[in-house]
């Protein structure tokens, strides 16, 4: 079995699509729009075959503060292939004004990662 995709409700559908395309080499499929519900979405495909669905509907609102921890899905880890790429991407995101919650490091369980917030406050681990 494989996880087919992860879905995230977003406020700025186009901005979030651009973020994942720009920094994580995601490729967006066609935009889906359900006129009767005002639901719009994109499926973004990663090189590995993993997919991320970005979804928007005007009546879905954010009630948490960016980066706040809650029970349930807590983060998404995106592998970039090497420690050097983790370092470089984290540096680029910092330079571009994104929040870095954890600088690149080797964790106690052996992962090399950094932790950032995407434009809407979702936690991302950037890993080897």
101 vs 80: CA distance, rounded Å: 18
- pLDDT of 68 strictly over 90: no
Average pLDDT over residues 40-47: 97
Half-sphere exposure of 94 (CA within 13 A, CB side): 14
Average pLDDT over residues 34-57: 96
30 vs 35: CA distance, rounded Å: 15
- Read off the tokens for 127: 């890993």
Average of per-residue pLDDT values in the chain:
93
pLDDT of residue 78: 96
- Read off the tokens for 104: 């690149």
Structural domains present in the chain: 1-58 (3.10.180.10), 74-128 (3.10.180.10)
Q: What is the largest CA-CA distance in the chain?
A: 49
């Amino acid at each position: 079995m494989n996880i087919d995709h992860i879905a995230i409700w977003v406020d700025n559908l186009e901005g979030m699509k651009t973020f994942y395309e720009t920094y994580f080499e995601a490729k967006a499929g066609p935009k889906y729009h359900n006129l009767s519900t005002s639901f719009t979405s994109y499926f973004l495909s990663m090189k590995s075959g993993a997919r991320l669905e970005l979804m928007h509907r005007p009546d879905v609102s954010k009630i948490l503060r960016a980066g706040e921890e809650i029970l349930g899905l807590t983060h998404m880890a995106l592998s970039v292939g090497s420690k050097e790429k983790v370092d470089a991407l984290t540096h680029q995101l910092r330079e571009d004004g994104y929040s870095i919650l954890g600088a690149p490091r080797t964790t106690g369980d052996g992962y090399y990662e950094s932790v950032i917030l995407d434009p809407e406050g979702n936690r991302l681990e950037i890993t080897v």
